[in-house]
């Protein structure tokens, strides 16, 4: 008995001393530390940033994303004990939370407490602290969003700062507030508490580096930023491997029409086998080319390159031999992973010759498969959770080349952190769940197809169906009818083409259609809404931003805009001569590239100056922060000293002839410096009709082009964007203008 008593006393002493240490470390009371310590040990909580919240000067509102029933317990144990917590009715009465509720004042959440706000304003003006728990969904409905408006009004009236807090990982606890179909449960996930610096909503509305917005939107954005900040930095392989553990190794994650479905475990086993082979023929951190269509083979090869610690260099096999040669040389690529069957079917003999001529050799997947030994398979089956060569999140993960729609493609180096930050930013705006199936037709050599169409579903447990080419306008609707996807990403050009060949029921399963890479035409939006019952969400991005910068969502959407900036992205507008309504957009954020390849290889880059990237786009923000693209800075013509947006010209022509495709380019003109030429597929196009429509629309006379050229098809890049370099060449040849002009 004496020995037992001594052991118990020793354990109690250790517990008390540890609690005292935790109290000193975090600045909490002894009672708080005693109750917090078991949670700290069980969930291995990363809590270093909670000091930011505790040290915030009153008056302050803690804006907490309420993911699980555990969140109030953590906040009661960690926030200053003079904080008034507004709890939901279950948390306010739950018996297991009773010890935690003794740590601070609490009131039960209901409409009268939240929306009749004078009591809360008085509390804050008296140098008080308030903890408010916001809905866990990233797309709150209008009723739920009322809470953001109410709290924003209280904060502005009381002059209170906002500290946004998010408990990363609690969404997957057994006591999660999210439906289990959307958030698979784990008993002991590691939790990370993210707390952002205090900021007033008045300054948030016009704070440097952000677009102007309303106070409620500023509060909503701050909560979303905390969600992104809770993401733990990791490599691409670690993110996919972690998703396998979270969503289940046997869960089907990727599928195509030839290979069939593959589970996380099987995909990672195949990636481990390939990763070992890739590592044996390359050096650490080397850029290795990947030239494959959308397929299971592409995914296993990409993840295999990440396992090997290689930098996946995505080869745009539609860019032509000259551009591919330049890509191989600038990336210092010695090895290109590809498939003979694909090369033969796609008739890429000239691309193969260009790659070999640039000094690279091919590693054919057909040669790897039969040579895999039983030992390699067994080893991969045991070690599939771990990479062959671990890398840091800050290391280069992929090299992509810009579309080259109006200039020569540039090599963009994106780190693991860049790519995963962008997936987290997107996931903080749009709901993705394991119940979704994503149909991806966009090639992985395009950043939209790689991040949104490949990496994001792998990381968030979305079932991914890959289709090899976006140009199969008839087969893709038929595939959608069989696969029944809930999400798809595409460009306006492709969406318009699919609608022309699809039956009304082919896309009936879709709940989310995201359009990017080029402006979404009103006619495309109308057709998809009327025929398929699908509202298209338009976004904006660029390769250098991994790629998504702004996005419309169910909660925040404005037709004609590309939405609001994603969480964590800062912006500034620089004036452009001749343009009053808008300016040149610069951006900064965790998703902005490491830099352009400047000499040879992924380690030799030209980084953005001070982390700021010049997008080259002329844009405007409205008072609520919605972004409208006026056009590329290069996509303006200077006519008699006046700046004319070629994008605005295209929109005018598209409104007149919505069933056809058009492209506006600028060519030299002796009298006025430049003139605008429209290429159109409308064989009946008449200048007089366009002139009359422009006058009736009230646009400036300069906007209406006086030269129209009819073509069989508008030249496109492999990504679906208009190839303006080729379009301009066609216009100049048609008009007999010297190409050197």
Residue 698 binned pLDDT confidence (cut-offs 50, 70, 90): low
Q: pLDDT for 627-649, tens place per residue?
A: 888 776 566 665 655 556 676 77
Mean pLDDT of 278-285: 88
DSSP state of 535: P
The pLDDT, as a whole number, for residue 144 is: 81
Residue 223 binned pLDDT confidence (cut-offs 50, 70, 90): very high
Non-local (6+) Cβ contacts of 512 within 8 A are 430, 486, 487, 488, 537
Mean pLDDT of 571-597: 84
Residue 712: pLDDT over 90: no
The pLDDT, as a whole number, for residue 294 is: 94
Residue 114: pLDDT over 60: no
The pLDDT, as a whole number, for residue 738 is: 67
Mean pLDDT of 442-454: 92
pTM of the model: 0.85
Mean pLDDT of 428-454: 92
Which of 214, 140, 210 is CA-nearest to residue 567? 210
Mean pLDDT of 185-192: 91
Q: For the chain, first and last CA: distance in Å?
A: 99
Cβ atoms 490, 532 nearer than 8 A: no
- For the ranges 57-71, 122-136, 625-639, which has the lowest average pLDDT? 625-639
Both tokens assigned to 270? 């195949």
- For the ranges 25-29, 344-348, 671-675, which has the lowest average pLDDT? 671-675
Burial class (CB in 10 A: 0-12, 13-18, 19+), 194: buried
Q: pLDDT for 375-400, tens place per residue?
A: 988 999 999 999 999 999 999 999 99
Both tokens assigned to 439? 């149909």
Residue 584 binned pLDDT confidence (cut-offs 50, 70, 90): confident
CATH number of 640-735: 3.30.300.30
Mean pLDDT of 56-61: 93
The pLDDT, as a whole number, for residue 608 is: 87
Both tokens assigned to 26? 């975090």
Q: pLDDT for 139-172, tens place per residue?
A: 888 888 888 998 999 999 999 999 999 999 999 9
For the chain, what is the mean pLDDT? 86
- Fold match between domain 236-629 and domain 640-735: no
Q: pLDDT for 466-518, tens place per residue?
A: 999 888 989 999 999 999 999 999 988 889 889 889 888 899 899 989 988 88
Phi, psi of 244 (to 5 degrees): -65, -40
Beta strands in 641-723 (DSSP E): 642-645, 662-669, 673-680, 707-710
Residue 112: pLDDT over 50: no
* 28-42 residues labelled b (16+ CB within 10 A) or e (exposed): beeebbbbbbebbee
Mean pLDDT of 319-348: 90
Parallel, antiparallel or unpaired: strands 396-401 and 411-415: antiparallel
The pLDDT, as a whole number, for residue 718 is: 63
Cβ atoms 591, 450 nearer than 8 A: no
Query: In terms of DSSP H, where are the helices of 398-465?
Result: 416-427, 447, 456-459
Q: Is the dihedral of CA 428, 431, 434, 436 positive or negative?
A: negative
Residue 343: pLDDT over 80: yes
Domain boundaries, the chain: 52-229, 236-629, 640-735
Residue 210: pLDDT over 60: no
Residue 359: pLDDT over 50: yes
Q: Could you list the active site residues? A: 66
- For the ranges 28-42, 293-307, 588-602, 643-657, which has the lowest average pLDDT? 643-657
Burial class (CB in 10 A: 0-12, 13-18, 19+), 710: middle
Residue 276: pLDDT over 60: yes
Which of 351, 327, 329 is CA-nearest to residue 339? 351
Q: pLDDT for 604-618, tens place per residue?
A: 778 888 889 988 888
3-state secondary structure of 216: helix
3-state secondary structure of 113: helix
The pLDDT, as a whole number, for residue 311 is: 94
Residue 253: pLDDT over 50: yes
Cβ atoms 268, 242 nearer than 8 A: no
Residue 576 binned pLDDT confidence (cut-offs 50, 70, 90): confident
The pLDDT, as a whole number, for residue 600 is: 63
DSSP string covering 72-111, please? HHHHHHHS-TTEEEEE-HHHHH-GGGHHHHTTSEEEE--H
Architecture per CATH, domain 236-629, reads as 3-Layer(aba) Sandwich (3.40)
Please, what is the Cα angle at 256 between 250 and 257, to 5 degrees? 125
Residue 422: pLDDT over 50: yes
Report the percent of the chain where pLDDT is more than 70. Answer: 89
Mean pLDDT of 13-19: 87
CB-side neighbour CA atoms (13 Å) of 132: 28
Which of 67, 113, 65 is CA-nearest to residue 89? 113
Mean pLDDT of 422-433: 92
Both tokens assigned to 345? 């079917």
The pLDDT, as a whole number, for residue 450 is: 95
Both tokens assigned to 245? 């553990």
Strand partners, 440: 466, 489
- For the ranges 201-205, 360-364, 411-415, 485-489, which has the lowest average pLDDT? 201-205
Residue 719 binned pLDDT confidence (cut-offs 50, 70, 90): low
Beta strands in 646-700 (DSSP E): 662-669, 673-680
CA–CA gap between residue 354 and residue 336 (Å, rounded) = 12
């Amino acid at each position: 008995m004496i020995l037992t008593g001594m052991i118990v006393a020793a354990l109690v002493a250790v517990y008390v001393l540890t609690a005292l240490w935790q109290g000193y470390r975090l600045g909490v009371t002894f009672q708080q530390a005693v109750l917090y310590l078991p949670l700290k040990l069980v969930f291995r909580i990363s809590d270093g940033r909670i000091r930011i919240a505790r040290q915030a000067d009153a008056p302050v509102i803690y804006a907490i994303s309420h993911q699980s029933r555990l969140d109030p317990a953590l906040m009661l144990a960690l926030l200053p004990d003079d904080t008034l917590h507004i709890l939901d009715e279950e948390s306010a009465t739950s018996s297991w939370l009773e010890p935690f509720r003794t740590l601070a004042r609490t009131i039960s959440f209901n409409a009268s407490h939240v929306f009749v706000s004078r009591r809360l304003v008085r509390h804050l003006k008296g140098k008080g602290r308030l903890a408010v728990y916001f809905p866990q969904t990233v797309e709150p409905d209008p009723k739920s969003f009322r809470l953001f408006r109410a709290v924003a009004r209280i904060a502005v009236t009381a002059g209170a700062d906002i500290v946004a807090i998010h408990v990363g990982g609690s969404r997957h606890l057994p006591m999660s507030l999210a439906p289990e179909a959307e958030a698979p449960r784990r008993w002991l996930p590691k939790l990370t508490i993210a707390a952002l610096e205090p900021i007033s909503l008045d300054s948030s509305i016009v704070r440097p580096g952000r677009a102007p917005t309303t106070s409620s939107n500023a509060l909503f954005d701050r909560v979303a930023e905390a969600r992104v900040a809770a993401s733990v930095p990791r490599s691409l392989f670690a993110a996919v491997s972690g998703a396998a553990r979270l969503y289940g190794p046997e869960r089907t994650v990727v599928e195509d029409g030839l290979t069939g479905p593959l589970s996380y475990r099987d995909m990672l086993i195949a990636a481990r086998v390939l990763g070992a082979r890739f590592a044996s023929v390359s050096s650490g951190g080397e850029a290795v080319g990947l030239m494959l269509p959308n397929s299971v083979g592409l995914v296993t090869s990409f993840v295999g390159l990440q396992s090997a610690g290689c930098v996946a260099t995505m080869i745009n096999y539609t860019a032509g031999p000259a551009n591919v040669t330049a890509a191989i040389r600038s990336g210092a690529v010695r090895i290109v992973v590809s498939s003979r069957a694909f090369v033969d079917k796609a008739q890429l003999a000239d691309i193969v010759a260009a790659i070999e001529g640039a000094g690279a050799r091919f590693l054919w997947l057909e040669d790897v498969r039969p040579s895999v030994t039983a030992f390699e398979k067994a080893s991969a089956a045991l070690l599939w959770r771990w990479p062959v060569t671990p890398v840091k999140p800050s290391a280069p993960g992929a090299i992509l080349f810009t579309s080259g729609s109006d200039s020569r493609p540039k090599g963009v180096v994106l780190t693991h952190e860049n790519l995963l930050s962008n997936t987290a930013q997107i996931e903080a705006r749009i709901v993705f769940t394991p119940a979704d199936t994503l149909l991806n037709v966009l090639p992985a050599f395009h950043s939209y197809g790689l991040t949104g169409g490949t990496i994001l579903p792998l990381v968030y447990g979305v079932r991914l169906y890959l289709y090899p080419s976006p140009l199969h306008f008839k087969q893709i609707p038929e595939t959608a009818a069989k696969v029944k996807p809930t999400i798809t990403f595409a460009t306006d050009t492709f969406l318009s083409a699919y609608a022309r060949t699809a039956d009304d029921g082919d896309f009936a399963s879709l709940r989310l259609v995201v359009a990017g890479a080029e402006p979404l035409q009103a006619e495309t939006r109308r057709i998809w809404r009327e025929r398929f019952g699908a509202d298209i969400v338009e976004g904006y991005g660029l390769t250098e931003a991994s790629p998504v910068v702004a996005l419309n969502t169910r909660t925040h959407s404005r037709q004609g805009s590309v939405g609001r900036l994603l969480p964590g992205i800062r912006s500034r507008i620089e004036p452009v001569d001749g343009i009053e309504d808008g300016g040149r957009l610069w951006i900064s954020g965790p998703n902005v590239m490491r830099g352009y390849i400047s000499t040879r290889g992924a380690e030799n880059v030209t980084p953005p100056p001070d982390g700021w990237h010049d997008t080259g786009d002329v844009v405007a923000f409205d008072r609520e922060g919605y972004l409208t693209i006026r056009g590329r800075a290069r996509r303006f013509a200077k006519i008699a000293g006046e700046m004319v947006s070629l994008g605005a010209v295209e929109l005018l022509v598209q409104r007149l002839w919505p069933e056809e495709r058009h492209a506006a380019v600028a060519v030299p003109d002796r009298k006025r410096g430049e003139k605008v030429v429209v290429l159109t597929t409308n064989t009946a196009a008449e200048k007089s009709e366009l002139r009359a429509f422009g006058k009736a629309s009230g646009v400036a006379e300069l906007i209406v082009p006086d030269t129209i050229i009819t073509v069989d098809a508008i030249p496109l890049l492999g990504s679906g964007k208009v190839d303006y370099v080729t379009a301009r060449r066609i216009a100049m040849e048609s008009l007999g203008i010297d190409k050197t002009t």
